[in-house]
Amino acid sequence: MWHTKIVHLRYISTFRPSVKHETEKSKAQWKTMGPAKVAVPSPKNFLKKHSKEPKLPARKKEQDSKKLPALSVPRRTDHPVMGIQSKKNFINTNAVAAITGLPKKPQPIYVDRRQGDKYLLETSGLVPKYIKKKDYGITPKYVTRRTEEMKRAQKEHETHVLEYLKEKAMKQLSDEERENLLQGLKKNWEEVHHEFQCLSVEIDTIPKKLRKEKLESQMKQLEHDIDVIEKHKVIYIANDLTLHCTSGVSPVKLLEENTKRRLDKMQSSNLDRTTLTEQTFPA
């Protein structure tokens, strides 16, 4: 009886040789680590025990270069000096030197613990050497020089400010002008007060309420101005005050604003604010 063997054919691409060739083309031998550049060690030179331990170099015999040369042989005609005797008493000399000599001063040291190592005390930082310096507690020269420069600059600044204030000299208000200004303020207060008295008793609308608040504000400002002028007998007006009088603002209010601005300027320049007395009302 015959048996039939069935063979299943596997598909093989026609491009297989070209793909294999391209893959082998991109590869190379020793591409990761590269070829060995050293000779292969011989099996006879195997690693021996303790061969890697460090060894000291061989000790060389040192030649003493400081050794004195050999003494020459004395001549036959040389004779030693005989009969010389010294009367010096070395025992007494040594005793006097030991008695009168200063004892050796031990070097100061310190230890880090009870059974620790010894260290020099002078270089340890525990000795107060800094406070015993000659220049300790004395102001350095550069600080004194810097202070003098600051004082000189401050003096020049104050001189410049005084010159600026002299250029902006203020005009003193005469008694007649002061009285006219005071009477004018009182007259304005009477007119505003008359308008305030003419208001209706019942304030039931917003315009009436706003008008009443406006009149009260004007009366309060006029009363403040009158009080300021009555308290200060001498009044100064700055040159730039006349530029603002046409804006409808109270002259006394302008005087106070100028006073505050000038005081702030003097304070920033470290001038003494006490120079303005109560009898002087600067603008």
Residues 244-280 have pLDDT tens digits of 443 344 555 555 565 556 546 545 543 343 333 333 3
DSSP H or E segment with residue 263: helix 251-268
Query: Which pLDDT tens digit goes with each residue over 54-104?
Result: 998 888 877 666 677 777 888 888 888 887 888 889 999 999 999 999 888
Distance (Å, rounded) from C-alpha 160 to C-alpha 137?
37
**What integer pLDDT is reported at residue 142 of this predicted model?**
94
DSSP class of 174: P
pLDDT over 80 (residue 2)? no
pLDDT at 153 over 90: yes
What are the beta bridge partners of residue 110? 119
Rounded (10°) angle between helices 175-197 and 206-231: 160
283 or 3: which leads in pLDDT? 3
Stronger pLDDT, 122 or 142, i.e. the higher one? 142
Nearest-angstrom CA–CA distance, 283 and 239: 9
